[in-house]
């Protein structure tokens, strides 16, 4: 059990079980986007003035980032549900205590980048999952910029950094990671010269968009080498209000639940439609999913819409590897859809999935196999042979090990609703890191998920 789960063991069940219970119907609102929520707090704290945020995801991960921003000297206040106020002081002061990012890789890596620009010493830690995740990918570019680190080999958290007096670099991302890109850009704010990040594979661009919304000039150029993002150091950020759109990575769970549960029709409103985040929906459509998007509009500098999913006979597909960055967090729930489709779904180019909150390739393979699904695990891929949905539903009747990974837990709970026998998950308390209210939202749509 992770530390976060342990702390809550007293008030949350240690297992949840999901069983088939008929069609899912209704309308839900997606919780705030996790990536944009972290960034709104961090940029709000780096800026000068008062930033008001609406629709902030109030999951554990984002709350850790809010607490960290207060520790760096910003005024951080919760005004109401999803409504937060950040009084930024135009920079970070040295925190009096260790910054504990909990389960959040995004929080840890982005805050390291943001803190690096200031002449302060900071020690970072996290829960047992985060302490096991690779940090060298951030330390390497920040080290080239002049940040000094001390800490565990690996390198892993806990570790300490001393920032300030940075020089700009041009950094080509060795792995497609928006977290690393963002850490370098945020450090670049405090560096002398123009920092450049070169992305051979495009990743989510929320940092670039939000930096602009906070008054920074950010150049973006597509070249033969990839996308080059440039940011001049020393630019001050001005407070800006942020409306956080709904998280497509969370919306994916009720939408896939409707696709695989006979007779279902579910609408999720206010879903972020940034093309760098919507690879799952393209893939599901290729599988034959009946997905419709209505009421497309602009909100907070991003396009959002209402997505309706209706039960569909899905077919297996080969997912283009080039699409993986735009749906990296959605492979667990795609694997569930694939288990209910007809024929194999081939997912490759997924090396990054092994270093998420858990080794998601290994845990999906193990859990699906325990539920009677034919799977093949590859070093950087997963092949799931579907059981053809309604005619031959997945057997189920197993407990999926989640290693404290919220997305693994939610994926197997969704599968349980379409399986012949119930599916249980361990450590369900971790779902609150990204989707507080998940079980209540699913119950309102007709799911049967209980503490048992
Ligand atoms: C995120 C980037 C992705 C994603 C994570 C959120 C972000 O991680 O998996 O959930 O907000 O920048 P990587 O940058 O490690 O791919």
Domain ranges for the chain: 15-33+245-450, 34-237
* List 100, 127, 329, 426, catalytic entry: 329
Measured from the Cα of 110, ligand 1's closest atom is 12
Measured from the Cα of 181, ligand 1's closest atom is 14
Q: What is the pLDDT of residue 36?
A: 98
Contact 124, 112 (CB under 8 A): yes
Pick the closest to residue 77 from 56, 47, 106 (CA basis).
56
State the 10-residue block means of pLDDT for the chain, 452 residues long. 40 87 96 98 98 97 98 98 98 98 98 98 97 97 97 94 97 97 98 98 97 97 98 98 97 98 97 98 98 93 95 98 97 98 97 96 98 98 90 94 97 97 96 96 98 86
Span from the CA of 420 to the centroid of ligand 1 (angstroms): 34
CA-nearest residue for atom 9, ligand 1, is 329
Measured from the Cα of 204, ligand 1's closest atom is 12
Told to judge if 100 belongs to the known catalytic residues of this protein, a careful annotator would answer no
Span from the CA of 352 to the centroid of ligand 1 (angstroms): 10
What residues flank ligand 1, with Cβ below 6 Å? 35, 106, 177-179, 182, 204, 328-329, 352
Span from the CA of 361 to the centroid of ligand 1 (angstroms): 16
- What kind of architecture, by CATH, is found in domain 34-237? Alpha-beta prism (3.65)
Q: What is the pLDDT of residue 1?
A: 36
Question: What is the rounded distance in angstroms from the CA atom of residue 259 to the CA atom of residue 405?
Answer: 23
The CATH number, out of the four listed (2.40.10.340, 3.90.1300.10, 3.60.70.12, 3.65.10.10), of the domain defined by the range 15-33+245-450: 3.65.10.10
Measured from the Cα of 329, ligand 1's closest atom is 9
Question: What is the rounded distance in angstroms from the CA atom of residue 65 to the CA atom of residue 10?
Answer: 24
Span from the CA of 182 to the centroid of ligand 1 (angstroms): 10
Q: What is the pLDDT of residue 390?
A: 67
Span from the CA of 179 to the centroid of ligand 1 (angstroms): 5
Question: What is the rounded distance in angstroms from the CA atom of residue 405 to the CA atom of residue 383?
Answer: 21
Span from the CA of 232 to the centroid of ligand 1 (angstroms): 24
Q: Rounded to whole angstroms, what are the CA distances from 59 to 56, 63, 349, 406?
A: 9, 6, 29, 11
| Domain 15-33+245-450 shares a fold with domain 34-237 | yes
Q: Which two tokens stand for residue 324?
A: 């993986």
Between strands 15-19 and 421-426, the pairing is antiparallel
Task: Report whether the peptide linkage leading into residue 126 is cis, meaning its omega lies within 30 degrees of zero.
Answer: no
Measured from the Cα of 34, ligand 1's closest atom is 11
pTM of the model: 0.96
């Amino acid at each position: 059990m992770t530390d976060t789960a342990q702390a809550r063991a007293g008030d949350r069940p240690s297992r949840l079980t999901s069983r088939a219970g008929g069609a899912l119907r209704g309308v839900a609102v997606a919780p705030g986007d996790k990536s944009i929520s972290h960034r709104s707090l961090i940029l709000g704290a780096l800026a000068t003035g008062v930033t008001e945020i609406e629709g902030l995801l109030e999951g554990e991960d984002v709350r850790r980032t809010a607490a960290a921003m207060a520790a760096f000297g910003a005024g951080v206040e919760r005004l109401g549900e999803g409504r937060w106020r950040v009084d930024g002081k135009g920079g970070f002061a040295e925190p009096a205590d260790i910054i504990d990012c909990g389960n959040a890789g995004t929080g840890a890596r982005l805050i390291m980048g943001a803190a690096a620009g200031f002449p302060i010493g900071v020690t970072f830690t996290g829960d047992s999952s985060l302490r096991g995740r690779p940090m060298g990918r951030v330390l390497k570019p920040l080290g080239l910029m002049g940040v000094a680190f001390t800490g565990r080999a690996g390198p892993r958290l806990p570790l300490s950094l001393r920032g300030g007096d940075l020089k700009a670099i041009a950094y080509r991302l060795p792995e497609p990671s928006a977290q690393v890109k963002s850490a370098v850009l945020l450090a670049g704010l405090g560096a002398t010269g123009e920092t450049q990040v070169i992305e051979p594979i495009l990743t989510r661009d929320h940092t670039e968009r939000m930096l602009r919304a906070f008054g920074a000039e950010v150049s973006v150029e597509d070249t033969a080498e990839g996308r080059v993002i440039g940011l001049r150091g020393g630019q001050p950020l001005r407070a800006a209000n942020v409306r956080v759109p709904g998280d497509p990575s969370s919306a994916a769970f009720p939408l896939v639940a409707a696709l695989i549960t006979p007779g279902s029709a579910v609408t999720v409103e206010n879903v972020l439609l940034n093309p760098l985040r919507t690879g799952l929906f393209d893939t599901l459509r290729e599988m034959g999913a009946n997905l419709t998007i209505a009421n497309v509009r602009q909100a907070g500098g991003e396009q959002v819409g209402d997505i309706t999913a209706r039960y569909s006979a899905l077919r297996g597909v080969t997912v283009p590897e080039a699409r993986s960055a735009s749906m990296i967090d959605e492979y667990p729930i795609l694997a569930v859809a694939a288990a209910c489709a007809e024929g194999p779904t081939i997912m490759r180019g997924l090396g990054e999935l092994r270093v998420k909150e858990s080794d998601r390739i290994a845990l999906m393979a193990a859990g699906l196999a325990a539920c009677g699904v034919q799977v093949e695990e590859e070093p950087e891929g997963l092949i799931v042979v579907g059981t053809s949905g309604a005619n031959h539903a997945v057997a189920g009747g197993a407990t999926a090990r989640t290693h404290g990974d919220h997305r693994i837990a939610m994926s197997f709970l969704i599968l349980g609703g379409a399986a012949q026998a119930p599916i249980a998950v361990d450590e369900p308390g971790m779902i609150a890191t990204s989707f507080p209210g998940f079980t209540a939202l699913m119950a309102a749509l007709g799911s049967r998920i209980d503490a048992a």
